[in-house]
Amino acid sequence: MSSSYVKFAEVYDVLMQDVPYNEYVAWVQKFAPSDQYSKLLDVGCGTGNLTLKFQKNGYDVSGIDLSVEMLSIASERMLQQGLVIPLYQMSMDELEGFQDYDVVTIPIDSINYLEDEKSVIETLTRIYNALRKGGQLFFDVHSLFKMNEIFLQSPFTYDDGTTFYVWHTEEGQEEHSIYHQITFFLKDGVTGKYERFDEEHYQRTFPVEYYKEWLNQIGFSEIEITADFKNHTPTYDSERILIRAVK
């Protein structure tokens, strides 16, 4: 893992500060209340913000993430709050060792980091196998509108006095894909000088119909697709597509 990715883990929460974590928890609670669906696996848990919220709302949570650095920050955050939550380092398309879960979440467009259809289908299949009968999957993806139009309105900037970034995007080679190129400047609290590092990420999404078809083929049922936490079907300018399915 590169040193820049270690630094990225440290500023991850800055990028995620506008994520509606509470609405995400409410969405899951509405269909899978913790008193009936207690065992929850948070896939792509990052630095643990949402994982902690699930735990505090009555779920018995475990988390996985590809990044050791993200998991280290998550673990420290949980210990500071007196909580011990099992965390595992693995890629979501290599998920194994989990059985009989009531709920699995793949939050905050984490599944869009998978680069091809095969990896997405493999991930959904492994999650299906990790769920008990009647268990539920909750995940979200970038809409085509966000990927093809909003992201291409870059550059985006941010400055809070200690962290400054410039975020450029570029259309990927595959349809509905994007390259993120982010330059960070982090202020040293002692010297007052700024340290620069650069991050590159790639995301890809697919039409809603593709996700629905894959879920059906795997064996999921009762597939519900809404958008932007507004309990309505996606429209052309929806940004975050929410997908729920039952094993």
CATH code (residue 193) = 2.20.25.110
Residue 1 CA to residue 239 CA, distance in Å, equals 31
DSSP 8-state secondary structure symbol assigned to residue 113: G
Closest CA to 161 of 27, 1, 14: 14
Half-sphere exposure of 74 (CA within 13 A, CB side): 30
User: 226 and 238 in contact (C-beta within 8 Å)?
Assistant: no
User: 169 and 141 in contact (C-beta within 8 Å)?
Assistant: no
The per-residue pLDDT for 152 is 97
Task: Tell me how far CA of residue 173 lies from CA of 177, 204, 219, in angstroms.
Answer: 7, 10, 31
101 is in which domain, residue-wise? 3-142+207-246
Residues 14 and 61 placed together within one structural domain of the fold: yes
Residues 160 and 95 placed together within one structural domain of the fold: no
Residues 19 and 73 placed together within one structural domain of the fold: yes
Please state, as a whole number, how many other Cβ atoms lie within 10 Å of the Cβ of residue 89.
12
| CA geometry: angle 185, 13, 9, nearest 5 deg | 70
Domains contained in the chain, number: 2
Residues 56 and 153 placed together within one structural domain of the fold: no
CATH code (residue 46) = 3.40.50.150
Residues 229 and 119 placed together within one structural domain of the fold: yes
**Helix H or strand E segment including 167:** strand 163-171
Residues 89-104 have pLDDT tens digits of: 999 999 999 999 999 9
- Measured in residues, the chain has a length of 247
Closest CA to 34 of 11, 61, 70: 61
User: 184 and 196 in contact (C-beta within 8 Å)?
Assistant: yes
Residues 122 and 162 placed together within one structural domain of the fold: no
Residues 211 and 197 placed together within one structural domain of the fold: no
Residues 11 and 93 placed together within one structural domain of the fold: yes
Residues 96 and 188 placed together within one structural domain of the fold: no
| Structure-derived torsion over alpha carbons of residues 50, 33, 214, 230, reported in degrees to the nearest 10 | -70
pLDDT beneath 70, residues of the chain: 1-10, 13
166 is written with which tokens? Answer: 């410039």
Residues 75 and 182 placed together within one structural domain of the fold: no
Residues 171 and 213 placed together within one structural domain of the fold: no
First to last CA, the chain: 35
Residues 80 and 191 placed together within one structural domain of the fold: no
User: 40 and 104 in contact (C-beta within 8 Å)?
Assistant: yes
The per-residue pLDDT for 7 is 64
Residues 16-62 have pLDDT tens digits of: 777 889 999 999 999 999 999 999 999 999 999 999 999 999 999 99
Percent of the chain with pLDDT over 90: 83
